[in-house]
Structure formats: structure tokens, C-alpha cells
Amino acid sequence: MTSTSFEAARTAIVAVGRWLDGKGWAPATSGNYSARLDDGGFAVTVSGRHKGRLTPDDVMRVDADGASLDGKKPSAETALHLALYRAFPDVGAVLHSHSPTAVGLSRAVAGEGYRLAGHEMLKALPGIATHDITVTLPIVENSQDMAVVETAIAPRLLESGAIPAYLIRSHGLYGWGCDMAEAERVIEAIEWMIAAELAERSFR
């Protein structure tokens, strides 16, 4: 697990917001990002802020229950971030992207997951050292009630061989890591593989 100071977390979250927006993965005010703090709390993005134009004032503190510690309003999906921190004590950062390819894949395929196999990019995911492997990217149904999403995804995350990512259908991608750099790498690798899968389908 990597925890960090609030000041360092704000700097990292502002930077990752600009990076994700530059990729086209944070349209309008979508997406939310967080980091585990060394005081036991969490830094999260303030609700409704454009992620490509974040400032340090757009990052706030919440406690382990998601309650605001500075009077600002946290992202509506803070509960999903906190569920990951509770389930995985080694997680230090969580990112939520909204690329058109990830959302498109989640809408185009049926079922509770999508298999990724044979990609060299699989080696970017923690614990994977070969392309010669098949993993499943879980897909759960969307809901405005975060407790419904959390209940649906929780058992999938604890399955043997689970990867640190999942899709919410018609919504977007969650990815996480021991620190912000690893969370970024997970999001970028999954997004790249989704784009490659859709490109392959277009040639069939």
C-alpha cells in the first residue's frame, strides 16, 4: 500500500485529470479519482468539476465512511472508491475513466465480463508476466444507487485471478493500483486493449 500527504495527492489528482482529459477519457465533468492519505483519510475529486481543468481546490478530503472533512461535496461515486480501499488494503489510488471505446464495448457485448487474451499489454497489469494468458474484465450493470453497483461487483473482485479493473455497463471503467502510477498504468493498458479489440472486430 502507498499512502501520501494531502498536498501530494492533490498534485497527483490534478495531473491525472489533465492526462485523462487529454486522452478523451473524461468528457464533460465525468470521471472521479482518489488517493489514500497517510492520515487514514482519502483525497477525492469534488463533485461536478471538469477533470481537464482541475485545480488543487477541486480535490477534497473524506473519511473512511465518505463523509466530507472540509465542507465540500465529494463525487457521487466516492462509495465505489472506498469499497475498493476496504477490500484491498494495498490499494493506494483509484481512477474512473469514461472513454467512448470502453463504454461502447460494455454496451456491445452481453454477459458479466469480456475476455482479454494474448495481448502483450496484459503484462502492464500487476502480477502478470506473460502475454500467454486470458483474463476477464468484469462488467456490471449501471445504477444510480452505488450500493447496488458495489454489491454486484464485490464478489467478482475476490475471484481467483481477478484483475484490478471493471466496467460499469454504459458508464465507464474503474482501475486501481498500489499508487497513482500503477493505477494510471492499469487504466491505460485496459483502455488500449479495449480499443485494440474493437479495431480487430472492425477488420472481420
Binding positions for Zn(2+) are 96, 98
DSSP class of residue 132 equals S
- Rounded distance, CA 178 to CA 160, Å? 19
Q: Say which amino acid occupies 195.
A: A
Residues at the annotated binding site? 96, 98
Which CA distances in Å does 140 have to 85, 112, 137, 148, 152? 19, 6, 10, 10, 7
Residues 10, 56 contacting (CB under 8 angstroms): yes
Closest CA to 36 of 135, 171, 199, 180: 180
